[in-house]
Structure 1
Amino acid sequence: MAMSITTGTSELRDVTKMERIGAHSHIRGLGLDDRLEPRANSQGLVGQAKARKAAGMILKMVQEGKIAGRAMLFAGPPSTGKTAIALGMAQSLGPDVPFTIITASEVFSLSMSKTEALTQAFRRSIGVRIKEETELIEGQVVEIQIDRSLTGATKTGKLTIKTTDMETVYDLGMKMIEALTKEKVLAGDVIAIDKTSGKVTKLGRSFAQSRDYDAMGADTKFVQCPEGEIQKRKEVVHTVSLHEIDVINSRTQGFLALFAGDTGEIKPELRNQINAKVAEWREEGKAEIVPGILFIDEVHMLDIECFSFLNRALEGELAPLVIMASNRGMARIRGTKFRSPHGLPVDLLDRVLIVSTKPYTEEEVQQIIQIRCQEEDTQLTPDALTVLTSMSMQTTLRYALNLIACGKVVARKRKAEMVDVEDLRRAYTYFMDEKRSVQWLKEQQGSLVFEEVGSKEDELMDIGQ
């Protein structure tokens, strides 16, 4: 007797839209005009005109393929839009140019060596645009005739295809019959068949059949009957990253390894072979290299070994543009006793273009709050907007933005549509900002458990940082 398994009450929901609002989900681009001049408030970015213009110039050079193997550093206080500008660059690049974003601390948490993690990040950021010529059969289906054997085990058939100029009959094998059945191809459909792979693509329904209401669905797309020859040669372009080629060639399961998650370490010999093959394709004109962008956030968290690896990797033939972000001033380089600007070694700083970001003005903060309110579907009263702006100037911008959602919950509790000053004040009393938290700690006067008392030298270093 088969045992039935129940999983509680089954519930059907019509999910029309799933939204994930992130810290930078409002960023749509860099907000520059055709002359690379920054607009005051555009594509989710506000202010930081110099930094955005610098990013736009770098982006232009990336698109022209002129700045591979270089590096730039966004340096500035917290909450000044360093990550936002980098994500704006990613949005402006388009889908064809690879953009990889990592945090420096990720390098230490992976189950592979630091240099391997950085190498994989580098190779994810370099695309290879491969050109292939394929033969296509393209036309309107006039008739499909499928004959089954008496046992039903084998099928044979004929497919009649026409263009405006000619008509041809093809004999069908088992695989092609299955492919056509799977795509639900009927007489009157315009289809394309890839001769090398046997893939059938349904392009739409012919305009000649537009009055045939029985065969029409709500989403039926009508197309013109193709012209000229039925068999055509077409150039297909694929863009894959070097890391994807590495993984496919290093694992027995091929491209399925890309979905397995942990790719493990890849042997340098294999990478050298792939580099040689890609170089060969470039010479033959089959492929071209698309250098992308690697963004390393909180770069001061890398140690001296990683920095020395970056120095060498940037000089390699296959290197992307590396963009780094740091909010440190004079800080100790991890793995050494030396202090250096932004926590980066001087020899690496010498190779990078440094772009500084400055704190936002009150007007810019108000515009950012308005953008975030639109993104989070929250309405503030004019008084609440003024209060939240002054709150962010006294505390931090991130703290003020976090209060938007909290204020909305408080306002909903009193059944109000708009968030008012009183809602923000209540949220302000529930959640402490960094300054009030420090003040509260001082008031406790050592009553918290396990308070560490450092040496005088450590305290002086903390003050210096």
Structure 2
Amino acid sequence: MTFRVSPLAHPSHLRNLLALAILNLAIAILIPARASAVFSRTAEQRIMAAPVITTKEPSSSTTFQKLDRIGPHTHIRGLGLDPSTLEPDSSPTASSSSGIVGQKRARKAAGVIVRMVQQRKIAGRAILLAGPPGTGKTAIAMAIAQQLGSDVPFTSISASEVFSLEMSKTEALTQAFRRSIGVRITEQADVIQGEVVEVQIDRSLTGATKTGKLTIKTTDMETIYDLGNKMIDSLTREKISAGDVISIDKSSGRISKLGRSFTRARDYDAMGSDTRFVQCPEGELQTRKDVVHTVSLHEIDVINSRTQGFLALFAGDTGEIKPE
């Protein structure tokens, strides 16, 4: 609010205008404070009305598994169909329905499509799910992706992701398509697989250097390996202990924990739900096995685009793979 005062104004008029300005300023300050107080009181009532979930501190004999709740459809694990008849399972349990309810005819039609994809009878086709908002189109699409398995890449995009000032619509759609095309790469790798008997790590007084020894065995033999700093860090990161069955890739040094040996099943009275018991490997420690990697074309594009140096100008394949 702007006040315009003439130079011949009476002092009483000036006092009135000043009082009016102070009153307007007080009203402008008090009204937002009142609104925030009402909002906080309403929010407090909503919080008090909501169900209260109390959790206890995890003890030594209990383990809580972290749940993934990043979207409205993360609870869907499949179509919830009978594998033989493709009819929706009528059992009321959540495990049989795979987290999806309703739309029985649409789920059966989606099950037919999934079976055709698994039998390799359909490829290069598009599926259009039409219907009013909130009828479960996205839920059925997520169920199809979960039913096909983790090896089949699934990409979810919205219309707002296509329009951008930094990327053209064609490039955005091309990247979405290439994220949805998977490639299986099979390679032979030398691995060391066995049950861990003992992990011995020696640290210097300053803590700068670390040396260690790993005793690993199968049902036929037992061997001791000397460990370097990187292998010690990998063992510490994966929390490897005696009784774990592990697999070590000799070419990359990557350590994978396969599970817990059955001989150590009675070491603890209670274990977490993610604990997996496996048999101790048989035969030689060092074996050659086929390793299958499932990657998408977009991941290959990202790897190729990281090529740096002047050699990339002459022979380096950078950017996307050519359509030919």
Shorter-normalised TM-score: what interval? Answer: 0.5 to 0.7
1:109/1:271 CA distance change after superposition, 3 Å: closer
Work out whether residues 304 and 320 of structure 2, in 8 Å CA contact, stay in contact via their aligned partners in 1. Answer: no
Q: State the match for 1:46 in structure 2.
A: 102
1:190/1:47 CA distance change after superposition, 3 Å: closer
Q: State the match for 2:145 in structure 1.
A: 90
TM-score (norm 2): 0.58
Query: What's the CA shift for 1:149?
Result: 7.2
Does residue 1:117 correspond to 2:117, yes or no? no
Query: What's the CA shift for 1:236?
Result: 2.2
Residue of structure 1 aligned with 2:114, choices 56, 59, 67:
59
Residue of structure 2 aligned with 1:30, choices 55, 79, 93:
79
Residue of structure 1 aligned with 2:253, choices 198, 220, 228:
198
Deviations 1:423-443 (A, max 9, x none): xxxxxxxxxxxxxxxxxxxxx
1:14-413 matched pairs, under 5 angstroms: 20=69, 28-35=77-84, 37-39=86-88, 44-47=100-103, 49=105, 51-109=106-164, 111-143=166-198, 154-183=209-238, 185=240, 189-203=244-258, 206=261, 223-251=278-306, 270-273=319-322
Q: Which amino acid aligns with 2:102?
A: V
Q: Which has the higher contact order (CA 8 A, sep 6+)?
A: 1
Work out whether residues 40 and 47 of structure 1, in 8 Å CA contact, stay in contact via their aligned partners in 2. Answer: no
1:64/1:218 CA distance change after superposition, 3 Å: closer
TM-score (norm 1): 0.43
Matched residue of 1:272: which SS?
coil
Query: What's the CA shift for 1:122?
Result: 0.7
Work out whether residues 110 and 117 of structure 1, in 8 Å CA contact, stay in contact via their aligned partners in 2. Answer: no
2: CA distance, partners of 1:161 / 1:211: 20
Deviations 1:198-244 (A, max 9, x none): 2234445555566778xx99558665432211111222222221112
Matched residue of 2:150: which SS?
coil
1: CA distance, partners of 2:89 / 2:220: 56
Matched residue of 1:74: which SS?
coil
Q: Paired residues, what number? A: 247
Query: What's the CA shift for 1:134?
Result: 1.8
Matched residue of 1:233: which SS?
strand
1: CA distance, partners of 2:270 / 2:266: 12
Work out whether residues 141 and 159 of structure 1, in 8 Å CA contact, stay in contact via their aligned partners in 2. Answer: yes
1:65/1:217 CA distance change after superposition, 3 Å: same
Work out whether residues 136 and 233 of structure 1, in 8 Å CA contact, stay in contact via their aligned partners in 2. Answer: yes
Q: Which amino acid aligns with 1:238?
A: H
Deviations 1:135-177 (A, max 9, x none): 1112234455666679875555544433221233334334334
Work out whether residues 140 and 190 of structure 1, in 8 Å CA contact, stay in contact via their aligned partners in 2. Answer: yes
Query: What's the CA shift for 1:119?
Result: 0.5
2: CA distance, partners of 1:271 / 1:93: 27
Work out whether residues 155 and 173 of structure 1, in 8 Å CA contact, stay in contact via their aligned partners in 2. Answer: yes
| Farther off after superposition, 162-171 or 93-102 | 162-171
1:223/1:77 CA distance change after superposition, 3 Å: closer
RMSD value, Cα: 4.2
1:59/1:110 CA distance change after superposition, 3 Å: farther
Deviations 1:283-335 (A, max 9, x none): xxxxxxxxxxxxxxxxxxxxxxxxxxxxxxxxxxxxxxxxxxxxxxxxxxxxx
Work out whether residues 191 and 249 of structure 2, in 8 Å CA contact, stay in contact via their aligned partners in 1. Answer: yes
Which entry has the higher C-alpha Rg, 1 or 2? 2
1: CA distance, partners of 2:203 / 2:83: 62
Task: Provide structure 2 residue ranges, at least 5 long, that are not aligned to the other structure.
Answer: 1-54, 58-63, 91-96, 309-316
Query: What's the CA shift for 1:100?
Result: 1.8
1: CA distance, partners of 2:289 / 2:184: 16
Q: Which amino acid aligns with 1:39?
A: P
Q: Which amino acid aligns with 1:246?
A: D
Q: Which amino acid aligns with 1:112?
A: M
1:154/1:218 CA distance change after superposition, 3 Å: same
2: CA distance, partners of 1:139 / 1:243: 35
1:195/1:147 CA distance change after superposition, 3 Å: same
1: CA distance, partners of 2:70 / 2:260: 39
